[in-house]
């Protein structure tokens, strides 16, 4: 097996060229992404693509099944339990992101009327309170899609509008907590 760094260094000749820096081992930058919602229910629209300031870690774990036999203890993977994901949106001035997110949240549970939306089957199929999917698209250095993390059966669980304060110079944001049924990861060949 050859090393990318070693190969680049062996091609360096101090008298004729500069050392090269490999870009083939670059990491995906955490600040290059966008959020695409598909199959958003109600008057929000079928799809919603938006930039976001921050996405919390997308996580979940398999619960363990413990099998005890005499002097043995074995562990097996059980059901997958996803954790809620929090997305902070800050592009509110010229887009319809804020009203769209509020309309969706108020359809899930309307705090004014106390109404709760009809339920959707697991994974979402349109209708009800869940969007079919939320795709968080990771972009490469040329802003081309590199990979995506897809959350299925997504609905807003909570919403928080940022503090309004004259003493700061920060953008106004909306923070939305989303719940989902299950997730997937795709690379460019399948985007």
The CA distance from 31 to 185, in Å, is 18
Tell me the pTM. 0.74
**Upper half-sphere CA count for residue 153 (Cβ side, 13 Å):** 13
Residues of the chain where predicted confidence (pLDDT) is lower than 70: 1-31, 42-46, 91-94, 117-127, 189-191
What is the DSSP annotation of 55-121? Answer: E----EEEEEEEEEETTEEEEEEEEEEEPPEEEEE---SSSSHHHHHHHHHHHHB-TTT--BPPP--
Nearest C-alpha neighbor of 137 from the set 124, 123, 151: 151
Radius of gyration (Cα) for the chain, nearest Å?
Answer: 22
pLDDT in tens, 116-145: 766 655 555 555 788 889 999 888 777 788
Give the tokens for residue 178.
């989303």
The CA distance from 121 to 132, in Å, is 10
For domain 25-190, give the CATH number. 2.30.110.20
pLDDT at 5: 47
The CA distance from 162 to 116, in Å, is 25
pLDDT in tens, 8-29: 555 556 666 665 555 555 565 6
Nearest C-alpha neighbor of 103 from the set 30, 37, 25: 37
pLDDT at 4: 46
């Amino acid at each position: 097996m050859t090393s990318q760094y070693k190969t680049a260094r062996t091609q360096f000749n101090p008298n004729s060229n500069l050392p090269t820096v490999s870009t083939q081992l670059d990491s995906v930058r955490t600040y290059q992404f966008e959020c695409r919602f598909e199959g958003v229910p109600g008057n929000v629209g079928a799809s919603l693509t938006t930039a976001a300031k921050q996405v919390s870690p997308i996580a979940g774990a398999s619960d363990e099944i413990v099998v005890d036999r005499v002097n043995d203890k074995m562990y097996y993977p059980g059901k997958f339990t996803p954790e809620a994901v929090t997305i902070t949106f800050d592009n509110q001035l010229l887009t319809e992101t804020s009203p769209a997110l509020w309309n969706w949240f108020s359809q899930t549970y309307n705090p004014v009327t106390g109404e709760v939306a009809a339920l959707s089957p697991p994974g979402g199929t349109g209708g009800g309170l869940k969007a079919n999917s939320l795709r968080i698209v990771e972009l490469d250095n040329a802003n081309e899609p590199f990979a995506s993390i897809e959350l299925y059966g997504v609905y807003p669980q909570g919403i928080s509008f940022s503090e309004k304060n004259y003493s700061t110079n920060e953008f106004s944001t909306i923070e939305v907590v989303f719940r989902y049924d299950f997730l997937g990861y795709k690379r460019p060949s399948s985007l």
